[in-house]
């Protein structure tokens, strides 16, 4: 049995850092293990322009201590009034790494998202020309579509028409949650990739609903049936370069999670790597963990693999972590995988 594993420092290609006191509280949890993270733009107001992205990057960078190797990779929030020239200039300056598509109303702070996809066609065409990836929250928001079917319907109704109408557009289907999503990414060619979260490798919908509602397991896209979870585990541990880590770690204070209308999101930045090591060990695929967390995503985003390393060590005594991260905005509950973690990240 392998008890020690050294990897290039990993990347998180889907992360929510929020802003203000919450940003200050949760950023150290990502910087501890990750060298880079793709930072989501769904602030209030959202990060729409190059100027917005530069200001947000500066706020993040101001909190990175001297000597700490961490790079925030910025994104722009796609709206129906986004300017193709501004997007292209931000990419040319190296300011942004991707543009994020939120269907309006799909998830937290997505009210400014896209309703009429014809109105963003010029931006998408310019992105295809310059090779700038589009990151997609893959759910329809049609109230007639069951919440457990929204990803599969999105693939047929929205994503496939976008890709057919915009040849060459590089797309990341983020936080894939269904067997249909896995199959779609596999069939999509070199211009399509998919991120998989830590929590969707663990949760099925029973974890949220059976025996009582567990608000800290509620996320969007919502966890699906067990056969979908198994499909995600198979994809993540397969070694296929088209699948890589995007934690979608999404902090909300407990008061907003434990609520009559609780927020969607799981906060997993702190313990993602020990959890993933266990998942990959259980699948007999520890040798493939490096690709999932450190090389596949970098290759798709045309970034070099990080030079630093990180070591995971399997110990007899489980890892001890706090239940909550205390931030200036309030306490944030850490994602609980429901099993002990024997893999420790060593200095």
Catalytic positions are 248
Q: Which two tokens stand for residue 48?
A: 């729409």
Distance CA(283)–CA(273), nearest Å, equals: 15
For residue 3, with 0-12 CB atoms within 10 Å meaning exposed, 13-18 middle and 19 or more buried, which class applies?
exposed
Distance CA(38)–CA(25), nearest Å, equals: 18
- The residues pairing with 134 across neighbouring beta strands, listed in sequence order, are 99, 171
Alpha-carbon dihedral 226, 286, 319, 293, rounded to 10 degrees = -80
Neighbours of 323 (CB within 10 A): 9
**Number of C-alpha atoms within 13 angstroms, CB side, residue 225?**
5
- The residues pairing with 313 across neighbouring beta strands, listed in sequence order, are 4, 344
Q: How does DSSP assign 122-187, residue by residue?
A: HHHHHHHHHTPPEEEE-----TTS-GGGHHHHHIIIIIHHHHHHSTT--EEEES--SHHHHHHHHT
139-169: b or e for each residue (b if 16 or more CB lie within 10 Å)? bbbeeebeebebbbbbbeebbeebbeebeeb
CA torsion through residues 96, 186, 42, 214, sign: negative
CA 211 to chain centre: 28
Distance CA(300)–CA(242), nearest Å, equals: 8
């Amino acid at each position: 049995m392998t008890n020690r594993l050294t990897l290039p420092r990993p990347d998180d290609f889907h992360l929510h850092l929020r802003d203000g006191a919450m940003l200050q509280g949760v950023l150290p949890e990502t910087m501890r293990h990750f060298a880079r993270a793709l930072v989501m733009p769904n602030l209030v107001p959202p990060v729409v322009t190059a100027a917005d992205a530069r200001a947000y990057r500066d706020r993040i960078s101001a909190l990175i201590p001297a000597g700490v190797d961490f790079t925030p990779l910025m994104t722009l929030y796609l709206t129906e009034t986004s300017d193709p020239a501004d997007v292209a200039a931000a990419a040319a300056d190296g300011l942004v790494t991707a543009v994020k598509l939120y269907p309006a109303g799909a998830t937290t702070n997505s009210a400014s998202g896209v309703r009429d996809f014809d109105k963003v066609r010029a931006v998408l065409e310019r992105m295809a020309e310059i090779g700038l990836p589009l990151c997609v929250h893959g759910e329809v928001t049609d109230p007639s579509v069951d919440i457990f079917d929204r990803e599969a319907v999105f693939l047929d109704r929205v994503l496939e028409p976008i890709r057919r109408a915009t040849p060459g557009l590089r797309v990341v289907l983020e936080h894939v949650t269904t067997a249909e999503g896995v199959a779609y990414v596999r069939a999509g060619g070199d211009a399509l990739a998919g991120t998989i979260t830590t929590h969707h490798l663990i949760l099925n919908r029973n974890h949220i609903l059976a025996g009582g509602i567990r608000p800290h397991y509620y996320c969007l896209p919502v966890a699906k049936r067990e056969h979908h979870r198994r499909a995600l585990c198979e994809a993540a541990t397969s070694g296929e370069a088209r699948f890589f880590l995007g934690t979608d770690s999404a902090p909300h204070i407990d008061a907003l999670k434990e609520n009559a209308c609780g927020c969607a999101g799981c906060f997993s930045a702190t313990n993602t790597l020990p959890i993933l090591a266990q998942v990959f060990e259980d699948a007999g695929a520890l040798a493939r963990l490096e690709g999932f967390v450190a090389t596949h995503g970098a290759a798709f985003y045309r970034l070099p693999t990080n030079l630093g390393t990180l070591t995971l060590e399997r110990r007899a005594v489980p890892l001890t972590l706090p239940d909550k991260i205390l931030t200036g905005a309030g306490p944030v509950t850490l994602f609980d995988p429901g099993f002990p973690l024997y893999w420790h990240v060593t200095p």
